[in-house]
């Protein structure tokens, strides 16, 4: 009920009477008042005025930090805050929020094995055993970043599951862009104008998101399947939001959103914003069966588009210019001889000639 109240107050942007809330939610005035008090305790600034009702006040100025410099108020990170910002098209049926967990991917997989229906979103403030690609660790401290996993049971063949990572990469970019352009959030009265500027998130094929050439987000997709049938797919996303000190081995190539954009990003808004973009993409993918429909928007955001890349193919390295993706999500690389090679992410990695991107 609290998520619904937040959603209603936010949508109206003005006072909503207690009676109106009672009618919509079909509960008593006392129940509404208790839920409002509980939200206020969680840190929401909700004004209650006799004869007018309730007003949700969300201004960026009310951000504050704890003694470690971690932004606390206004970055309310909770199940209710995320749920209240999810659209019905997000494809999320249930949200679980943890203060701590081993890995959101592992938790999703456990619940999937136990029979949970698809559409499950697991979010955690920190992870004790966060996992990255190729067996690496994803360091996941609390209070500053985003770690979430989405479990679905798509009606696709197993060879198509890796394509979901590309869709999620696109959704992450689109969700971030909405925050950046102020369509969803205004930054202290100033709307960030950054469409297609250096501040824009870009995709380093297949599944890293970079800003200014540095990684701000990674994805880990895992699947359980039989030869011709997908039981479930888990797509895990880790985003550096206000990571202040990176480990030495990644410090040169990592960046956080707050640093990149010089603004304070609300983590709940980010998680919900990404899922609101992902849901419709997944639906269209299931209907159409390939990635043709995202080739143009993906190319628009491809960090290496038109750039010289080095393909680290175990059968022999080569270089060429990145030209976008095909309908299977393979990177198209135009080699010197004018041929276009299709690079499959499972077999090779791609590096920029002059650095990470």
Least distance (Å) from ligand BTN to the CB of residue 69?
A: 22
205 binds ligand BTN (CB under 6 A): no
**Of residues 172-201, those binding ligand BTN (CB under 6 A):** none
3-state secondary structure (DSSP) of residue 313:
coil
105 binds ligand BTN (CB under 6 A): yes
240 binds ligand BTN (CB under 6 A): no
307 binds ligand BTN (CB under 6 A): no
DSSP sequence for 160-205? GTTHHHHHHHHHHHHHHHHHHTTSS--BTTB----TTSTTS-EEET
For ligand BTN, the closer CB: 63 or 96: 96
For ligand BTN, the closer CB: 210 or 219: 219
Least distance (Å) from ligand BTN to the CB of residue 136?
A: 5
**Which one among 138, 205, 261, 298 touches ligand BTN, defined by CB under 6 A?**
138
For ligand BTN, the closer CB: 44 or 205: 205
**Which one among 118, 130, 206, 320 touches ligand BTN, defined by CB under 6 A?**
130
**Which one among 201, 238, 324, 329 touches ligand BTN, defined by CB under 6 A?**
238
- Whether cis (ω within 30° of 0) applies to the bond prior to 206 is yes
**Which one among 12, 65, 87, 132 touches ligand BTN, defined by CB under 6 A?**
132
Q: Which helix (H) or strand (E) holds 229?
A: strand 229-239
Helices (H), the chain: 2-12, 18-25, 29-42, 79-83, 104-113, 163-180, 248-251, 257-261, 267-288, 295-300
* DSSP 8-state symbol, 223: E
Q: How far apart are CA 33 and CA 27, in angstroms?
A: 10
Number of H helices, E strands in the chain: 10, 14
135: left (phi over 0), alpha (psi -120 to 50) or beta: left
Q: How far apart are CA 106 and CA 75, in angstroms?
A: 26
Least distance (Å) from ligand BTN to the CB of residue 220?
A: 4
136 binds ligand BTN (CB under 6 A): yes
Q: Which residues pair with 147 in a beta bridge?
A: 124, 238
For ligand BTN, the closer CB: 9 or 219: 219
Least distance (Å) from ligand BTN to the CB of residue 2?
A: 25
Instruction: Specify the stretch interacting with ligand BTN by CB under 6 A; choose among 66-74, 127-135, 268-276, 334-342.
Output: 127-135
3-state secondary structure (DSSP) of residue 101:
strand
Residue 325, C-beta contacts closer than 8 angstroms, at least 6 positions apart: 166, 205, 291, 295, 298, 299, 302, 331, 332
154 binds ligand BTN (CB under 6 A): no
Q: Which residues pair with 233 in a beta bridge?
A: 152, 223
Least distance (Å) from ligand BTN to the CB of residue 115?
A: 21
Q: Which helix (H) or strand (E) holds 146?
A: strand 146-152
298 binds ligand BTN (CB under 6 A): no
**Of residues 208-227, those binding ligand BTN (CB under 6 A):** 218-220
Least distance (Å) from ligand BTN to the CB of residue 59?
A: 30
149 binds ligand BTN (CB under 6 A): yes
For ligand BTN, the closer CB: 5 or 220: 220
Instruction: Specify the stretch interacting with ligand BTN by CB under 6 A; choose among 65-73, 146-154, 269-277, 298-306.
Output: 146-154
Q: Which two tokens stand for residue 157?
A: 């063949």
Q: How far apart are CA 338 and CA 162, in angstroms?
A: 28
Q: Which two tokens stand for residue 59?
A: 């201004």
103 binds ligand BTN (CB under 6 A): yes
For ligand BTN, the closer CB: 119 or 141: 141
- Binding residues (CB under 6 A) for ligand BTN: these are 103-105, 127, 130-133, 136, 138, 147-149, 218-220, 236-238
């Amino acid at each position: 009920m609290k998520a619904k109240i937040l959603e209603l107050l936010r949508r109206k942007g003005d006072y909503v009477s207690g009676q109106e809330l009672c009618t919509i939610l079909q509960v008593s005035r006392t129940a509404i008042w208790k839920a409002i008090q509980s939200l206020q305790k969680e840190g929401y600034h909700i004004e209650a005025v006799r004869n007018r009702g309730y007003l949700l006040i969300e201004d960026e100025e009310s951000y504050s930090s704890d003694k470690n410099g971690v932004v606390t108020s206004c970055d309310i990170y909770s199940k209710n805050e995320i749920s209240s910002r999810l659209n019905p098209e997000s494809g999320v049926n249930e949200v679980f929020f943890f203060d701590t967990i081993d890995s959101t991917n592992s938790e999703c997989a456990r619940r999937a094995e136990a029979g949970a229906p698809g559409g499950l979103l697991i979010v955690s403030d920190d992870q004790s055993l966060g996992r990255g690609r190729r067996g690496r660790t994803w360091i996941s401290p609390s209070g500053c970043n985003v770690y979430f996993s989405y479990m679905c049971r798509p009606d696709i063949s197993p060879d198509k599951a890796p394509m979901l990572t590309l869709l999620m990469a696109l959704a992450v970019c689109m969700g971030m862009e909405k925050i950046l352009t102020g369509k969803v959030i205004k930054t202290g009265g100033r709307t960030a104008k950054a469409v297609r500027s250096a501040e824009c998130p870009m995709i380093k094929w297949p599944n890293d998101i970079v800003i200014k050439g540095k990684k701000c987000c990674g994805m880990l997709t895992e699947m359980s399947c039989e030869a011709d049938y997908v039981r479930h797919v888990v797509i895990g996303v880790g985003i550096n939001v206000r990571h202040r000190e990176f480990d030495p081995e990644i410090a040169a190539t990592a960046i956080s959103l707050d640093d990149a954009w010089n603004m304070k990003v609300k983590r709940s808004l980010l998680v919900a914003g990404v899922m609101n973009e992902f849901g419709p993409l997944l639906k269209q993918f299931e209907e159409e069966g390939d990635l043709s429909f995202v080739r143009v928007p993906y190319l628009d955001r491809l960090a290496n588009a038109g750039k010289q890349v080095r393909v680290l193919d175990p059968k022999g390295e080569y270089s060429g210019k990145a030209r976008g993706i095909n309908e299977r999500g393979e990177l198209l690389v135009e080699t010197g001889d004018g041929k276009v090679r299709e690079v499959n992410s499972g077999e090779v990695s791609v590096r920029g000639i002059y650095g990470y991107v």
